[in-house]
Amino acid sequence: MNYVVYGMATSGNCHKIKMALENLRVPYQWREINTLEGETRSATFLAMNPNGKVPVLAIDDTTFLPESNAILWFLGEETPLVPRDRLERAQVLRWMFFEQYSHETAVAVARYIRVFLKEHDNPRLPDLEKRGYAALGVMDRHLEARHYFVGETLSIADLALFAYTHKADDAGLDLAPYPAVTTWLDRVAAAPGVSTMPSP
């Protein structure tokens, strides 16, 4: 099956989909969508995702799946990227929920303000950085005795968290105090299909 990804290359939520597809060696086409120019608000795009956000995975001509972590789960099921053990599968979901609710909402938003809006004195940044560092602290403590977030191999939980963490400097966050995170980043970066997200 040849999927089509509608995404923005400089978005971490889109980049995680690219890495999963590349890791699994699944054929796909990439359709670049410029969210800053309102391309997600067109009638054509809204027919695929009424929420007007990227990424969207076109499974066939009439079936579209939005939400980055739902796409990761769809792609990863019955592959080495999703464990077979019931509890480990729940742990993967745990970290993917953490990524969307505690990590992405701080790190990705701070990155967007600094890199896309170029507002380095935005009054929201101090709180976003505080929450970003709190998320990194949770990750670092978890990774102190582990190679990956769940089990002994790379999973979609790692890909989900890698996407914005490896660009934390764009958000104004210093990774130096988090040695377990930086070691994990190097380990994930060496995995097949994993790549650096391009800068805007």
Q: Above 80 in pLDDT, residue 1?
A: no
pLDDT tens for 55-101 read 999 999 999 999 999 999 999 999 999 999 999 999 999 999 999 99
Q: Is the pLDDT of residue 200 over 80?
A: yes
Query: Domain 86-189, what architecture?
Result: Up-down Bundle (1.20)
CA distance 173 to 78: 35
Q: Which CATH superfamily is domain 3-76 in?
A: Glutaredoxin (3.40.30.10)
Span 115-137, pLDDT tens digits: 999 999 999 999 999 999 999 99
Q: What is the pLDDT of residues 135-193, one digit of tens each?
A: 999 999 999 999 999 999 999 999 999 999 999 999 999 999 999 999 999 999 999 99
pLDDT reported for residue 51: 97
The predicted-structure confidence for 6-29, as pLDDT tens digits, reads as follows 999 999 999 999 999 999 999 999
Q: Which pLDDT score is estimated for 50?
A: 97
Return contacts of 89-95, CB within 8 angstroms, 24+ apart: 91/149, 91/150, 91/157, 92/149, 92/150, 92/155, 92/156, 92/157, 95/149, 95/150, 95/157, 95/160, 95/161
Q: Are 73 and 24 in contact (CB under 8 A)?
A: no
* pLDDT computed for residue 27 by the predictor: 96
Contact 149, 158 (CB under 8 A): yes
For 178, phi then psi, to 5°, come to: -125, 75
DSSP string, 49-64: -TT--S-EEESSSS-E
pLDDT reported for residue 36:
87
From-to residues of CATH 3.40.30.10 in the chain: 3-76
Collapsing DSSP states into helix, strand and coil, what is residue 28? Answer: strand
Work out the pLDDT band at 196, boundaries 50, 70, 90.
very high
Listed in order, the ranges of the chain carrying CATH 1.20.1050.10 are: 86-189
